Amino acid sequence: MRILLIEDEKKVAGFIKRGLKEENYAVDTAEDGEAGHFLATTNEYDLIVLDVMLPKMDGLTLCARLRREGHKAPILMLTARDSLADKVKGLDAGANDYLTKPFAFEEFLARVRALLRTRVQDETTKLRVADLTVDLVRHQVSRGGKDIELTPKEFALLEYMARHAGAVITRTMISEHVWDIHFDSLTNVIDVYVNYLRKKIDGGFSVKLIHTVRGRGYRFGEK
């Protein structure tokens, strides 16, 4: 899952980004409303975390603008204002949830998870490709009845590939959704992680699920 964090307080932004990355989310950041709008309209995000008090364009204005422009990603607004009127303004602007500073990071994560579940509420909580099962809630993977242990980054990569089973998955697509905007797509990190995943997912199985599409990227699924 890829998250856009728009927050002008550097310490707060750093704290939130660090915590989200530890939970294996890809996180891009912006320090003002205009930069946030640019990122939100040029990239695809699963969730936007938006501070209300921002330079250049405040969070309420940005939220309302994104909704007018047709952006559907859930928006979690952050603010030091805790009055009912302020919360109503945020929700009326198009926010899906509203969290008052200071907050416990555990509560913040719970709200993030809830909003992401809402975004995919029409999808199953398990992805199945051939005899492979990916449990999105428990973060468990099994194939042919055998449990497979994955690192958080390997799981994120597998989830993305499984969601796009059958399609050609380019390295750019992977870098944009599994890593953040600062990832250097010219390195071989993606190929390294795909090889890690291939050994764990396909090792010992006659039917391979991860296939290299020469010059284009990868395809996930049975040929």
Residue 212: what pLDDT? 92
Last residue of a domain, one of 119, 154, 187: 119
Our count of domains for the chain comes to: 2
179 plus 94 within the same structural domain? no
59 plus 130 within the same structural domain? no
Residue 182: what pLDDT? 64
Tokens of 21: 């990355």
Query: How far is residue 149's CA from residue 176's CA, in Å, rounded to a whole number?
Result: 24
| CA 175, 177, 179, 183 torsion-angle sign | positive
Last residue of a domain, one of 104, 119, 134: 119
Query: How far is residue 194's CA from residue 121's CA, in Å, rounded to a whole number?
Result: 28
79 plus 174 within the same structural domain? no
Residue 21: what pLDDT? 85
Q: Helix %, strand %, coil % for the chain, to 5?
A: 40, 20, 35
89 plus 33 within the same structural domain? yes
91 plus 108 within the same structural domain? yes
Residue 152: what pLDDT? 85
- Domain of 145 in residue numbering reads as 126-220
Contacts of 15 (CB under 8 A, 6+ apart): 105
pTM of the model: 0.64
**Domain containing 166 — which CATH number?**
1.10.10.10
84 plus 166 within the same structural domain? no
Residues with pLDDT less than 70, the chain: 119-124, 180-186
Last residue of a domain, one of 119, 138, 163: 119
Integer-rounded Cα radius of gyration of the chain? 19
